[in-house]
Amino acid sequence: MEYHDSDRARELAADVREFVDEVVIPVEREWLGDGPVPDDVIDDLREEARDRDLYAPQIPEEHDGLGLEFRDVLPAFEEAGRSLLGPLALRVDAPDEGNMHTLEMAGTEAQKDRWLDPLVEAEIHSGFSMTEPMQGGGSDPKMIETTARKDGDEWVIDGHKWWTTQGSEADVLLVMARTDPDAHPYQGCSIFLVPSDADGVEFERDIPHVGGAFRGASHAEIVYDGVRVPEENLLGAENAGFAIAQKRLGPARLTHCMRFSGMAQRSLEVAKAYMNEREGFGSKLSEKQSLRYDVAEAETRLHAARTMVRHAAREITSGNEARVPVSMAKVFTANVVQDAVDLSIQCCGGNGIGKDLPLADFYENVRAFRIVDGADEVHKRVIARDAFEDVDESELDPVTRFRG
Ligand SMILES: Cc1cc2nc3c(=O)[nH]c(=O)nc-3n(C[C@H](O)[C@H](O)[C@H](O)COP(=O)(O)OP(=O)(O)OC[C@H]3O[C@@H](n4cnc5c(N)ncnc54)[C@H](O)[C@@H]3O)c2cc1C
């Protein structure tokens, strides 16, 4: 399919595809059914990605990345997503990819030296700690209860978070907390860079979950009990937490879409290969009209999703916030990818469930995408508000673009 991506974007994507096919997928196949894949295996893949000049394409050159524009990295993210190991190899894996973007966008030079550069090199890892248990903020982040209060030249953080991806492995946690209890939360929260070994950072548990068997990160429940960080660990301006989060989440939602649409492409490739081989009832499965129509439908919807993601990415690259296009792309892609993986499993019969093929691990991983970075219903709420024109621009905060 021709998407009129730039020459640079297409060249990089072709090189990433070759790398994934030649190097990443053979390693993936070795570990299927036998995960989790150990760190040294990932380190070797990263080394090979560096040698091929494919490493960290989204990171500016001054921080040792390839320095591509957002829309130009898109096809490479898709190609990387064809294996669960691809994003890790290229250092475009969540949540570090989104956290690196946040640091690059909002961090001071000292913060970038301390955390961004080692993150790019994969010497350290990070977590984004925003969602809270039942009484706190989840889909409705206005309910956030974690607080940070100033005490001399330190901030003192108290709160309870869960589902912090990679929380247990992280060296630094980006923690969202209320800093002005009198303000609306969208104008009264800030993000802090909290070293995971700081006094008062208490790891309660890794939440058991589906999808972690092959190469799953932890999803940690963490209590912040009087955690003290110096003033210079405030990320961006005081009370600008949601403005920064919004700038992080728009692109991060699209990079998730890109990686997952690569997963859907590979799923359909695997299914079609099986269907071209397997015969029953007098013909190949690939000749059965009902299956052919199902695959045709999945290919059509995937093409639509990839087009929507490119549109939203172009808007963001042009400096637009693109909230509605991002929400449309996110909710549509999440469902298209989930359906494509499910169909691919169906077409492969028992082998779809077995771990000789990557489909079962894809299936375990894809379900969360309809929930993370905004559940389907939350994005539909954004789209519906726009559709019914019940957003009065004058009511929106000029910085956060949230309604007060
Ligand atoms: C694998 C995984 C990784 C995650 N990683 C992180 C992370 O790194 N950092 C972090 O801070 N959080 C993370 N999360 C948390 C994630 O962001 C939240 O789960 C998500 O925002 C939904 O919040 P909640 O779970 O509290 O659901 P709730 O807010 O309790 O909502 C439950 C369900 O209600 C429905 N719903 C909600 N609002 C509406 C509405 N207005 N109208 C209709 N229906 C509605 C939706 O279907 C939603 O799924 C992760 C979650 C998962 C599963």
Nearest CA to ligand 1 atom 24: 138
Average pLDDT, rounded, for the chain = 94
Nearest CA to ligand 1 atom 30: 138
Fold of 242-395: Butyryl-CoA Dehydrogenase, subunit A; domain 3 (1.20.140)
CATH class, 7-93 region: mainly alpha
Cα-to-centroid distance, 102 and ligand 1 (Å): 21
Cα-to-centroid distance, 378 and ligand 1 (Å): 9
Cβ of 166 closer than 6 Å to ligand 1, yes or no, is no
> Region 357-363: what's the mean pLDDT?
97
pLDDT per residue as tens digits for the range 111-127:
999 999 999 999 999 99
DSSP track, 46-62: HHHHHHTT-S-TTS-GG
pLDDT per residue as tens digits for the range 94-106:
999 999 999 999 9
Cβ of 168 closer than 6 Å to ligand 1, yes or no, is no
pLDDT per residue as tens digits for the range 23-75:
999 999 999 988 899 999 999 999 999 999 999 999 999 999 999 999 899 99
pLDDT per residue as tens digits for the range 222-263:
999 999 999 999 999 999 999 999 888 889 999 999 999 999
> Region 67-88: what's the mean pLDDT?
95
Cβ of 138 closer than 6 Å to ligand 1, yes or no, is yes
Structure confidence at residue 363 (pLDDT): 97
Q: How confident is the model at residue 395 (pLDDT cuts 50, 70, 90)?
A: low
Domain-by-domain residue ranges, the chain? 7-93, 126-235, 242-395
Structure confidence at residue 187 (pLDDT): 94
DSSP track, 142-206: GG---EEEEETTEEEEEEEEEEEETTTT-SEEEEEEES-TTS-GGGSEEEEEEETTSTTEEEEEE
Nearest CA to ligand 1 atom 9: 164
Mutate to test the pocket of ligand 1, among 144, 372, 381, 383 (most ligand atoms within 8 A of CB): 372
Structure tokens at 198: 């700081």
Do the domains at 7-93 and 126-235 have one common CATH topology?
no
pLDDT per residue as tens digits for the range 193-218:
999 999 999 999 999 999 888 887 89
Structure confidence at residue 339 (pLDDT): 98
Cβ of 165 closer than 6 Å to ligand 1, yes or no, is yes
| Largest separation between any pair of C-alpha atoms in the chain | 80
Q: How confident is the model at residue 404 (pLDDT cuts 50, 70, 90)?
A: very low
pLDDT per residue as tens digits for the range 280-332:
999 999 999 999 999 999 999 999 999 999 999 999 999 998 999 999 999 99
Fold of 126-235: Butyryl-CoA Dehydrogenase, subunit A; domain 2 (2.40.110)
Cβ of 131 closer than 6 Å to ligand 1, yes or no, is yes
Nearest CA to ligand 1 atom 37: 139
